[in-house]
Amino acid sequence: MIAGGAALISAGVNAAPNKADIHRSLALRESWQYLTRDVAWPAHWTPDGAAFSYRKTVEGGFAFETVDAWSLSRSPAFDQQRLAATLTQALGRPVAPLRLPFEAFDYAGDRQTIQFWLGDDGWRCTLTDYACERQQDPRRPRGFGVVRDLSVPADNHPRLSPDGKWEALVEDDNLIVRPAGSKEAVRLSTDGSSGNFYDPETIAWSPDSRRLIIYRVRPGYARQVLRVEAAPEGKGQPALRTQLYPKPGDAIDQEQPVLFDVAARRQIVVDPALFPNAYELSAPHWRADGKSVAFDYVRRGFGQARIVSVDAASGAAHAAVTEDAKTFIYADRRFSHDVKGLGREIVWASERDGWNHLYLIDGRTGKVKNRITSGQWVVRDVVKVDDEKRQIWFAASGVNAGEDPYFRHYYRIDFDGRNLTPLTPERADHTVSFSPDMQFYVDTYSRVDMPNVSELHRTSDGALVQTVAKGDISRLTAAGFRAPEVFTAKARDGKTDIWGLVVRPRDYDPAKRYPVIENIYAGPHDSFVPKSFWPFGYHSGGDKVIGMQALADLGFIVVQIDGMGTANRSKAFQDVAWKNLQDSGFPDRILWHKALAARDRAYDISRVGIYGASAGGQSTLNALLFHGDFYKAGVAMAGCYDNRMDKISWNEQWLGWPVDRSYADASGVDNAARLQGKLFMIVGEQDSNVDPASTMQVADALIKADKDFDLLVVPGGEHSVGRSTGPIDYVTRRMSEFFIRSLQ
C-alpha cells in the first residue's frame, strides 16, 4: 500500500492496472488537495489601499483573510458561512463555506461589496446583507469580438456629456443629441442605415463636451454554428443550439470612425487610409485636453498595429505609433500608455529587436525617443506607469542568468531606461500586487518544488514589512507527494534550452522500464509548463500536476514540455508557429525526450504516448500524423483539428489572413491518411469553443482513409470535456485505460 491511499501497480508487474486501481488513482486530487496549510494566493487590495485580502489553505479547505497594511492586524475577509448559504441558493447546488467556488475576488467601489467570477459569469455580493446577483453585460454580444449579434439590441441608453448639458444616443440608425432630460432631438447624421448603422456603444464625448466620436458599422457575416443536443437534461426530445461563430476568412464588421462638432452640427468622416482592412479598432479615447481623440488599430492578418490620433478640429489623422512585423504582432500582448493623457509621449511595448521591450515614443512623429528596457529577456506585464515620477513598474522573465527563463520577477525603471531596480530577488516565480497608492506591495512567490510564500513590502525601498503566509506541505509530503523534476535539453538549433517537467510513479523503480506519456499544450499564445507550486488545478498554469501524478502512478513517466512556437521567450522562439501550427515544437520535444532517455534508462522512448485538449488536441493528432514513428498512441480531446473550422480570432492570429495553404498544411482532415499509431478522440457534443464538427470531419476523413481509431462523444459535454470534474471522472478513466492498453 502506497502512502496517500492509492494501491497502484507499476510497470514491470505482470498484472496491468484495473478499473479499481484507476479509480483510486483519480481520487488523488480529493485525497491530497486539503493537506496543505497557509498556501496563499496573490493579494487583492481594498480600494482605499489600507488593507489587502487573499485566499489561503486551512484545515478542510480555503479561507479568505484580510490584513491591515499599517497595523498588520488580521481578520476574516467576510462571513464565509453566510456567503456559502447565499451561493447555495443562487446556484441551486451545495456550496461549502471552506470550499467557495472562486479563488480570488475584488472589491467593487468600497469594502462592502465584492465581485468575482464563477466560470464565465461575473457575480457581485454585498457584505452588509450577503445578497448576491449575477452580473449582466448590457452591451450587445459579439462573436469572438468581430461580428455583432444583431439579434440582440445594442445598449442605447443616453450618453451624458461631461458638462451634463447634452445626451447622445442613436435613433433610426443615426446619431442624435438632445438637451439633458429633453425629448427634443437634434439629428447629427443622416447617412446611417440598417446596413451601415451608428453604434451607440461606441459613443465617446470629448472632455469639453464640444465634440463626440462614434463608429459607423457595416455588419459582417453572421455565421451560425448549429449543434444538436441529443439528451437535454430532463427532456425527451433533442434540441437545436445555435451560436454566432465567425471563422477564419469570414467577413467581419467594418467600423468607420465619425467625428461630430455638436455646436456647429458638423460631421467629419475620418479618412481610413491609416487603418485599412481593420481586424480591430479599440474603443475611441479622448486626450485629456480634448484636442484629439485616439484609437488602437490592428490590421487583418496581424502584420501591423498602430495608434491612430485624430485632430478634434480638422478630423485629420496621423499615426502616433506604428508597429510592423514580418510574421505577426501578438495582439493580446500589446501595451501602450499615453503619458499624462496628452498624446505627446507614449510608452509602447514592441518586439522590434526580437524581444518584448518598452520604448518611449514621440506621439506627434511616431518616432522612438528612447528605449526604456533592453536585453535578451522579455517584459511580461506593465503594472504601473507614474507620469509624474516618470517611472514604470513591470514584470519580466529571463533577466537573471542561470535561472529558469520563465520565472517572473518585478522591477522598477525610469522613463529614460536608467535605474533598473529589482524588487523580487528570490529564485522563484513571482506575482506582485501593489497597493493603489503604491506605498506597499504583496509578493507571492513559489516554485513547483517550493510552496507559496507571501510577503508584504514597502515600495519605496523594497523592505520586508511582514511575512504574510508561508505554505506548509508537510502533511502532503507525508502522504506521498513528490514535486515534479525540472529537466532541460537543447532545442533543434542546438543552443536554446527547452524546459519541461517529469512526474514519476510514487513507487518508481529505476531498474524497471516505463512507457512515457507527454501532456501537451502548444498554443502559441503562452507557455504552459507550471512554474508555481499549486499542483491541483489550473492556478499554476498548464494541466494539473496531480492529474499527471495520477496517470504516472498507473505505471508511466508523465512529462510536460514547452517547445519552440510557444510564448514568453524571444520573438524568434514564438515565430516558429507562424503559418506552421502542425510543428507544435515537436522537433524540440523529441530531442528533449531523447536527452532524458539517454540519462535515465527507465525512460522507454520506444513507448511514448501523448494527450492534450483544444489546441493540445490538435497537437496530439499531429503527433500521430507527422511524427508517428516516435509517438505510438494519443488521446486528443476537443481539438481544433482544422483551423478553418475553428474560431476566427485564435487562428487568424497565428495563420494569418487571407486563408491560405498554411491552414491545409496543419489540417488533421487533409492529412488524415498519414495516421500512424493508436488514436482516441474525445469531444463534447456542445463544445462552444471549438466547433465539434471539426472532430467529426477528422473521423470522416479517417474512415475514408481506412484508418482505425476510437471516438467518444460526451452528450451535453462542453469544451472542458477533457478536464477532471471529480475524484472519479469518466473521461479521465477512459483515457487511462486507453494508455494502459496501448502502451503497457
The string of pLDDT tens digits covering residues 561-586 is 999 999 999 999 999 999 999 999 99
> Residue 185 in contact with residue 177, Cβ under 8 Å?
yes
Phi, then psi, of 601 in degrees rounded to 5: -70, -15
Per residue in 278-333, pLDDT (tens digit) is 999 999 999 999 999 999 999 999 999 999 999 999 999 999 999 999 999 999 99
Nearest-angstrom CA–CA distance, 258 and 64: 48
Per residue in 238-261, pLDDT (tens digit) is 999 999 999 999 999 999 999 999
Burial grade of 367 (CB within 10 A; 0-12, 13-18, 19 or more):
exposed
Closest among 516, 524, 527, 529 to 487, alpha carbons compared: 529
Per residue in 529-558, pLDDT (tens digit) is 999 999 987 433 345 788 999 999 999 999
Question: What average pLDDT does the segment 137-160 reach?
Answer: 97
pLDDT value for 11:
39
Question: What average pLDDT does the segment 78-106 reach?
Answer: 97
pLDDT value for 144:
97
* Percent share of the chain, pLDDT over 70: 96
Question: What average pLDDT does the segment 377-405 reach?
Answer: 98
Q: Are strands 304-311 and 292-299 parallel, antiparallel or unpaired?
A: antiparallel
pLDDT value for 15:
67
> Residue 27 in contact with residue 439, Cβ under 8 Å?
no
Nearest-angstrom CA–CA distance, 415 and 731: 52
Nearest-angstrom CA–CA distance, 42 and 55: 8
Q: Are strands 464-470 and 239-244 parallel, antiparallel or unpaired?
A: unpaired
Closest among 336, 355, 366 to 396, alpha carbons compared: 355
Question: Could you tell me the strand order of the sheet in which 631-637 lies?
Answer: 485-490, 497-503, 557-562, 514-519, 603-613, 631-637, 678-684, 710-714
Closest among 553, 689, 668, 664 to 620, alpha carbons compared: 668
Higher pLDDT, residue 211 or 1? 211
Higher pLDDT, residue 30 or 338? 338
Contacts of 351 (CB under 8 A, 6+ apart): 325, 329, 330, 357, 571
Closest among 190, 181, 217 to 202, alpha carbons compared: 217
Closest among 519, 668, 723, 672 to 608, alpha carbons compared: 519
Whether residue 511 is predicted with pLDDT greater than 60 in this model: the reply is yes
Contacts of 227 (CB under 8 A, 6+ apart): 240, 241, 242, 243, 685, 686, 687, 692
Return left, alpha or beta for 727; rule: phi > 0 is left, psi -120 to 50 is alpha, else beta. Answer: alpha
Mean pLDDT, the chain, whole residue set: 95
Contacts of 642 (CB under 8 A, 6+ apart): 663, 667, 668, 669, 670, 694, 697, 698
Whether residue 605 is predicted with pLDDT greater than 70 in this model: the reply is yes
pLDDT value for 10:
40
Question: What average pLDDT does the segment 488-517 reach?
Answer: 97
What band does 722 get if pLDDT is binned at 50, 70 and 90? low
**Residue ranges with strand state E in 222-339:** 224-229, 239-244, 254-261, 266-269, 278-281, 285-286, 292-299, 304-311, 317-324, 336-338
Nearest-angstrom CA–CA distance, 195 and 253: 11
Domains parsed from the chain with CATH numbers: 19-34+475-743 (3.40.50.1820), 44-136 (no CATH)
What separation, in Å, do the N-terminal and C-terminal C-alpha atoms of the chain show?
Answer: 22
pLDDT value for 729:
82
Whether residue 4 is predicted with pLDDT greater than 70 in this model: the reply is no
Reduced DSSP (H G I as helix, E B as strand, rest coil) percent helix, strand, coil of the chain, to 5: 20, 35, 45
